[in-house]
């Protein structure tokens, strides 16, 4: 089953929805126009139920197949944009100052709407589909908020599936892997306390900037010398703050950074090691230091059975040679991980061609990927819930 002819026929319509969404980006939970757009389309398609306001501004559409038996599977798309200024110069560029669809969530939303239209027309499956349109993926944890609002229980969802476009992968290809496919995204905050004084008399101070400068390098040994070289981890210092005047040695300094891991044990180790390392390192300079470790999104873990199933669906659409079922994981984060912690499922990468990278001000979703993504969603439903 290659790309569906019917889907290819209304690709221009889906692309028009996508470009409208792109021109009107909204961030975090403030996706009111987008949610209204989605709910209006779902009702027009004839979905059996459309629920709004789940997880504050999330939308769920329910489509019942021809048969009344079968389970309910969830298909999820994220709706929110990023707080950044677009510089694509495209006709459909953002009209909202300081907001941009730089991660392709406009495309994700449009493709799931396209699948909803097709599935509501044909209903060639036995069971139910929950179409999940989620706010606040970009840092707001909207997936968890929807879960906390009863997403799984209200709709009796048995499995969940997600998709993300991937620049650099050719259009018409997919990438997936069992296990960790995207990283846990944690942050750490280090406070260093020394002894301030006049910049001309450093010998009577305990300079926290010297401590911070040495610590930035030393922190890298947690990954390079404490972890197995085959383990996947990133520890990046992203901010160092200290001082207010050029003739004063500050009493304090702050270091902020991020930790990315693909394994829970590695995540636990780094958190523990930071807690041990930071105060002891500062003490060697006569300073004091403390660290606060804040866990963010967990590892996005694909269940083996559902991963193989999703890969088989992708192969049905584009052929076996166009599906990498052992794709390299990404150290980026994804709050679909919360849903995968609640129900088995799989998250797949969809080729976006030679676009610029995600989260850049010149990025745009590739509309040529729409028929591939929509066909994947449709085939997944019809294969997971075969009509009797």
CA angle 372–111–363, rounded 5-degree value: 85
Residue 257 CA from chain centroid, whole number: 19
**Helix 264-283, helix 208-219: angle, nearest 10:** 150
User: Is 108 assigned to a binding site?
Assistant: no
Rounded to the nearest 10°, the torsion over CA 102, 104, 110, 113 is: -120
Residues 6 or more apart whose Cβ sits within 8 Å of residue 288: 192, 193, 194, 279, 282
User: Beta-carbon neighbour count of residue 324 at 10 Å?
Assistant: 17
User: Is 40 assigned to a binding site?
Assistant: no
User: Beta-carbon neighbour count of residue 95 at 10 Å?
Assistant: 11
**C-alpha span between 10 and 19 (Å, rounded):** 14
User: Is 105 assigned to a binding site?
Assistant: yes
Token pair 């008399």 is found at 201
What residue ranges in the chain does DSSP mark as E strands? 49-54, 58-64, 67-78, 126-134, 157-166, 174-175, 179-182, 184-193, 197-198, 233-242, 248-249, 252-261, 288-294, 300-302, 323-324, 345-351
**C-alpha span between 260 and 184 (Å, rounded):** 5
* Residues listed for the chain: 388
User: Is 22 assigned to a binding site?
Assistant: no
User: Is 32 assigned to a binding site?
Assistant: no
**C-alpha span between 224 and 165 (Å, rounded):** 31
H or E element that contains 370: helix 370-384
Encoded tokens for 269? 């180790």
**Binding site, annotated residues:** 103, 105, 138, 164, 359
**Binding site, annotated residues for Mn(2+):** 103, 105, 138, 164, 359
């Amino acid at each position: 089953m290659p790309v569906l002819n019917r889907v290819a026929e209304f690709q221009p319509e889906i692309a028009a929805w996508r470009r409208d969404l792109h021109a009107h980006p909204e961030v975090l939970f403030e996706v009111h126009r987008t949610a209204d757009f989605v709910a209006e389309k779902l009702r027009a398609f004839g979905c059996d139920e459309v629920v709004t306001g789940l997880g504050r501004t999330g939308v769920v559409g329910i489509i019942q197949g021809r048969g009344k038996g079968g389970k309910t599977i969830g298909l999820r798309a994220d709706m929110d944009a990023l707080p950044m200024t677009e510089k694509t110069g495209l006709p459909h560029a953002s009209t909202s100052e300081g907001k941009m669809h730089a991660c392709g969530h406009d495309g994700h939303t449009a493709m799931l709407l396209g699948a909803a239209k097709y599935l509501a027309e044909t209903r060639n499956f036995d069971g139910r589909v929950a179409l999940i349109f989620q706010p606040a993926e970009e840092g707001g944890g909207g997936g968890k908020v929807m879960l906390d609002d009863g997403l799984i229980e209200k709709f009796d969802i048995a499995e969940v599936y997600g998709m993300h476009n991937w620049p650099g992968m050719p259009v018409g290809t997919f990438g997936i892997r069992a296990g960790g496919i995207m990283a846990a995204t944690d942050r750490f905050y280090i406070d260093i306390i020394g002894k301030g004084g006049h910049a001309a008399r450093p010998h009577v101070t305990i300079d926290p900037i010297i401590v911070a400068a040495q610590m930035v390098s030393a922190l890298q040994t947690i990954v390079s010398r404490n972890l197995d070289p085959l383990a996947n981890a990133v520890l990046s210092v992203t901010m160092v703050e200290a001082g207010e005047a050029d003739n004063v040695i500050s009493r304090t300094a702050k270091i902020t950074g991020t930790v990315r891991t693909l394994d829970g044990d590695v995540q636990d180790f780094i958190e523990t090691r930071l807690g041990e390392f930071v105060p002891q390192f500062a003490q060697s300079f006569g300073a004091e230091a403390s660290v606060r470790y804040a866990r963010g999104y967990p590892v996005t873990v694909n269940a083996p059975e559902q991963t193989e199933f999703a890969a088989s669906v992708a192969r049905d659409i584009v052929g076996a040679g166009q599906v990498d079922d052992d794709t390299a994981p990404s150290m980026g984060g994804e709050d679909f991980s919360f849903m995968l912690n609640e129900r088995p499922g799989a998250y797949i990468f969809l080729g976006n061609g030679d676009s610029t990278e995600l989260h850049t001000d010149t990025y745009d979703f590739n509309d040529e990927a729409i028929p591939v993504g929509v066909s994947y969603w449709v085939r997944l439903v019809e294969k997971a819930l075969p009509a009797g």
